[in-house]
Amino acid sequence: MSAIVSVNNLRKAYAGGFEALKSVNLDIEEGEILALLGPNGAGKTTLISTICGITVPTSGIITVGGFDTQTQFRAARNLIGLVPQEINLEPFETVMNSVSFSRGLFGKPRNDAYIEDVLKQLSLHDKKDSKIMTLSGGMKRRVLIAKALSHEPRVLFLDEPTAGVDVELRKDMWEVVAGLKASGVTIILTTHYIEEAEAIADRIGVINKGEILLVQDKADLMAQMGQKQLKIELTDSVDVIPDGLATYDLERAKDGLSLTYSYDTKGERTGITTLLNDLQKVGLHLKDIQTQQSSLEDIFVGLVKEEP
């Protein structure tokens, strides 16, 4: 895979001097879904707006499809579709007209067949002649996506596509995004819903205070940083952790009926076998054992917390 979007040493200071982005470097591979995860005010929207040429960078270079977003703005922008956070649609317009109009703004010749295909893909085709004001919130969001796709972009930016959307609609949106990826569009979405990144992204970038803390393959991220916990339930409670188990850094539950052992799933040895032997040696009897994997949420909270 090759980078379709390349961000190099991007800095953005707003008027007044506030540095919303501090030397950001990011390559987005063609065909992937990249989720940019970060808390409120992290700089997600600023990053997207700057790549899309809506916000002017203070310094740094961004290319899209090899075109410089500043010196070759039009060529770069033609390759980009942007779905904004806010729903800003023309209420009295029909879906078809509204989407066709967006295409026209990019100077592309009318192509009803293409627009109808997009509407079909977004399950909006039966609403093509409906006025936008008659659509549900979920449908309006899909109209925004149709508009962003109207000029046949290769990269689609979705700024918080499911903010304030109920669980059902959120899952619908995830399916839409998966369908778009299947049709060959590269997708970058911002979210502060960890489960959203976990559900649909190929790679996850974590951004906080204007800095990208990491960008990594989702599965690798979870495997590398994920810790597993082994919860050992005991038949009888213990008041203190026996000396013979001191080396394991166990956590004792308040009721003394279970001990939790954390280990690295990627480590050469987990230490579980010797732990179980040692438990027996100190005379503890197991009732049950269970393992649990830390979620992306634990990883994310850990990363953002470590920031000074």
Nearer to ligand ATP (CB atom), residue 2 or residue 40: 40
| Residue 57 binds ligand ATP, judged by CB under 6 A | no
Nearer to ligand ATP (CB atom), residue 43 or residue 65: 43
Token duo for residue 190: 């911002």
| Residue 4 binds ligand ATP, judged by CB under 6 A | no
- State the nearest-atom distance from the C-beta of 249 to ligand ATP, in Å: 36
Nearer to ligand ATP (CB atom), residue 38 or residue 153: 38
Tell me how far the alpha carbon of residue 180 is from its chain's centroid. 15
The C-alpha torsion from 131 through 136 and 141 to 146, rounded to 10°, is -40
Nearer to ligand ATP (CB atom), residue 46 or residue 150: 46
φ and ψ at residue 93, rounded to 5 degrees: -85, 155
Indicate if the alpha-carbon torsion angle 212, 226, 166, 152 is positive or negative: positive
- Asked if residue 260 lies in contact with residue 229, where contact means CB atoms within 8 angstroms, the answer is yes
- Asked if residue 154 lies in contact with residue 186, where contact means CB atoms within 8 angstroms, the answer is yes
Nearer to ligand ATP (CB atom), residue 36 or residue 135: 36
- State the nearest-atom distance from the C-beta of 204 to ligand ATP, in Å: 15
d(CA 175, CA 132): 22
When computed from its CA atoms, the radius of gyration of the chain, rounded to whole angstroms, is: 25
- State the nearest-atom distance from the C-beta of 196 to ligand ATP, in Å: 13
Nearer to ligand ATP (CB atom), residue 45 or residue 102: 45
- State the nearest-atom distance from the C-beta of 83 to ligand ATP, in Å: 14
Per-residue burial over 45-77, b = 16 or more CB atoms within 10 Å of its CB, e = otherwise: bbbbbbbbbebebeebebbbbebebeeeeeebb
Nearer to ligand ATP (CB atom), residue 18 or residue 243: 18
d(CA 213, CA 24): 10
Q: Which of residues 26-55 bind ligand ATP (CB under 6 A)?
A: 38, 40-46
- Asked if residue 225 lies in contact with residue 299, where contact means CB atoms within 8 angstroms, the answer is yes
- State the nearest-atom distance from the C-beta of 163 to ligand ATP, in Å: 8
| Residue 192 binds ligand ATP, judged by CB under 6 A | yes
Binding mask 119-158 toward ligand ATP (x if CB under 6 A, else -) reads: ----------------------------------------
Helix (H, G, I), strand (E, B) or coil at 288: strand
- State the nearest-atom distance from the C-beta of 43 to ligand ATP, in Å: 4
- State the nearest-atom distance from the C-beta of 38 to ligand ATP, in Å: 5
Which residues of the shown chain bind ligand ATP in the complex (CB under 6 A)?
A: 14, 18, 20, 38, 40-46, 192
